[in-house]
Amino acid sequence: MTIDETLSMTATGTPAAPRSGRLRPLSLREVTLRDGFWQRRQQVNRNTSLAHIEHWIERTGWLANFTVAPESRRGREFSDSEIYKLLEAMAWELGREPDPGLRARYDRIVAVVAAAQLPDGYLNTRFGRAGQPPRWSDLEWGHELYCLGHLIQAAVARARTGHPDDLLVLVARRAADLVCEVFADAGVCGHAEIEPALVELYRVTGERRYLEQARLFVERRGNQVLDDIEFGRSYFQDDVPVRDAEVLRGHAVRAVYLAAGTVDVAVETGDDELLAAVVRQWRAAVSRRTYLTGGIGSRHQDEAFGDDFVLPPDRAYSETCAAVGSVMLAWRLLLAEGDPRYADLIERILFNVIATSPSDDGTRFFYTNTLHQRVLGTEPGADTQVPRAASTLRAPWFEVSCCPTNLARTFAALTAYIATTDDDGVQLHQYTAADVGVTLPGDRRVAFRVDTDYPATGRITVRITESPGTPWTLTLRIPPWATGATLMTSDGGVTEVAPGSARLRRVFTPGELVILDLPLHPRLTVADPRVDAVRGCAAVERGPIVYCAESVDLPAGVALDALRLTPSLTDTPGAVLATCEVTALPDENWPYSGTPSPLPARRSPATAVIPLRPYHSWAGRGPSTMRVWIPIKTLSGTT
């Protein structure tokens, strides 16, 4: 296959385009979001967040780093990558919908970046110039390959959206060539990212040495090739080879980026054992190291996974970028294996972490996503760069500002995660108003429109708009909580469909309707008893949405910590009303005692009906305390 063939295949591309696998991704031109939960967020990202990010990379000097003298460089060692992630977001946006103004902004930044590239392809503002450390002298912390990985991802986005000869693509290829040259025999980066990027560049260009270099990086890591550090080598997954590891561990973003790149390598090289290793680690992490929101990472100290079942709501790290990487990983596994459980996790992460991080107006972000806020946060000023990841209110920018740009590229490419195709039909994974149109093998054109206000209600209407005269299969994901879901077809037939996948294979007629009803009752969820931190608590979920209680919704004089959830939940638009007992809280000199303190409320308990709202909207009404996991009223009536 020549380079040109490859490029034309992916001209209206998508992130992650494997050459084999059970499912094939659709491009940003084959799916279009219409007004709904995700399209609104995608539009805010395009119309506001991109400019917000441009403002901050100017203001912080991170863009100027590409032009100023070395001694004037500002920002952390990975700040180049924020520029690249912004470019990737812009590239996907331009691919979805051209805009001359956006194009000019994109071109201007690309020109700045390109001008900083050295003749041999090296590109990094922090290393290698006068007064700076030498190139590749700090693989543990330097982030040089990490930055180039994001550069390459941006270039891939541009190439896949019809611009294979864009200046950025040339820049990225020269950088990638240098990487292949320098790292042929040894070395990996302390932060995985170059791995998936190189495979994607291989997919775009057909250049096998990029794939081979990615494979080398994946296989090398885990053999103690990096120096030991305070957090231990597990921090950057250099403790155990990826082929042998049993669970995702260490720094959460690094872990999921590496796993995503490993899937890419495994799929392209046909290495089933390697793929199985990632599946095993993913399953272990999902079953023992994942928050109810789908978020990962319970350690602030090293932004890392904790031990199994260490998932404290009040010290949840659940970094936004880890959620982004977790979507990247689950998406690749979905394409490779077709199992809807991957799409289940993607939905959970999208609605409960990705949707939680940004403010409604797209100019403030949570870096970490705690599940329990005990004290009122303070809202940082609009001009304030927050010094670090802190579980306070959403902030405009961070000294380590990886999350806003990571969200930007995710929202810009979100369209790609809605549906997939295979030889026999189309699989609809995520439910949001959209138009889907795809040409199946044999030039069979299939198109349909999805109408829904999900997750507000559970009705998803699929109207077939184009269909060949031959049978094809429409596959609809039935989430695991959707027991009792029904499928109604134009002939009036109603079928109950079990969680998993509902497959409808037939000769569809344009105009025909398929109506999926997912039951969206509020439900109480409890955790595995080994998640000690939430013993005796329940969370409320409704469909894919995790709910929370916020102090701003409480009656005067009722403390968040005094609530005891009962099974009485009432569904209303926008909120689930929960009847709670309100207990008295002890007032002790010492918080440990032989018997529960006598609580006056126990004999004649006060009750209150508390509105619980979607977790992703929390702190949208100013400072508040909040909890997702709420203690349940026990039989004995004790605490």
Binding residues vs a copy of itself (CB under 8 A): 228, 230, 283, 286-288, 290, 292, 299-301, 306-310, 312-315, 341, 372, 374-375, 387-388, 480-481, 523-537, 539, 561, 583, 585-586, 588-597, 629, 631, 634-636, 639
Q: Which residue of the set 88, 93, 195, 303 is catalytic?
A: 303
Residues 348, 544 contacting (CB under 8 angstroms) = yes
Q: What 3 state SS string does 529-560 have?
A: CCCHHHCCEEEEEECCEEEEEEHHHCCCCCCH
Query: Distance between CA 603 and CA 637 in Å, rounded?
Result: 9
DSSP 49: I
Smallest gap, in angstroms, from Cβ of residue 289 to a copy of itself? 9
Smallest gap, in angstroms, from Cβ of residue 90 to a copy of itself? 31
Instruction: Name the token pair of 72.
Output: 């004037």
Query: Distance between CA 544 and CA 482 in Å, rounded?
Result: 10
Smallest gap, in angstroms, from Cβ of residue 411 to a copy of itself? 26
Query: Of the candidates 468, 479, 429, which has an alpha carbon nearest to the alpha carbon of residue 450?
Result: 429
Q: Between residues 22 and 374, which has the closer beta carbon with respect to a copy of itself?
A: 374
Query: Distance between CA 469 and CA 475 in Å, rounded?
Result: 18
Residue 580 falls in the annotated catalytic set? no
Residue 402 falls in the annotated catalytic set? yes
Instruction: Name the token pair of 262.
Output: 């490993």
Residues 630, 548 contacting (CB under 8 angstroms) = no
Peptide bond into 312 cis (omega under 30): no
Smallest gap, in angstroms, from Cβ of residue 8 to a copy of itself? 40
Residues 314, 374 contacting (CB under 8 angstroms) = yes
Smallest gap, in angstroms, from Cβ of residue 542 to a copy of itself? 12
Q: Between residues 336 and 538, which has the closer beta carbon with respect to a copy of itself?
A: 538
Give me the DSSP letters along 346-365: HHHHIIIIITTSB-TTSS-B
Q: Between residues 112 and 390, which has the closer beta carbon with respect to a copy of itself?
A: 390
Q: Between residues 283 and 459, which has the closer beta carbon with respect to a copy of itself?
A: 283
Residues 583, 564 contacting (CB under 8 angstroms) = yes
Q: Between residues 211 and 285, which has the closer beta carbon with respect to a copy of itself?
A: 285
Say what the alpha-carbon torsion angle 245, 248, 252, 257 is, to the nearest 10 degrees: 70
DSSP 315: G
Q: Between residues 275 and 527, which has the closer beta carbon with respect to a copy of itself?
A: 527
Q: Is 358 exposed, middle or buried (0-12, 13-18, 19+ CB in 10 A)?
A: buried
Residue 221: which residues within 8 A CB-CB, separation 6 or more?
188, 192, 236, 237, 238, 241, 242, 258
Q: Between residues 352 and 406, which has the closer beta carbon with respect to a copy of itself?
A: 352
Query: Of the candidates 566, 554, 558, 557, which has an alpha carbon nearest to the alpha carbon of residue 611?
Result: 554
Q: Between residues 143 and 289, which has the closer beta carbon with respect to a copy of itself?
A: 289
Query: Of the candidates 239, 251, 137, which has an alpha carbon nearest to the alpha carbon of residue 193?
Result: 251
Could you give the 3-state DSSP secondary structure of residue 402? helix
Query: Distance between CA 129 and CA 383 in Å, rounded?
Result: 32
Q: Which residue of the set 402, 537, 548, 580 is catalytic?
A: 402
Smallest gap, in angstroms, from Cβ of residue 489 to a copy of itself? 29
Smallest gap, in angstroms, from Cβ of residue 340 to a copy of itself? 12
Smallest gap, in angstroms, from Cβ of residue 64 to a copy of itself? 24
Active-site positions read 303, 402
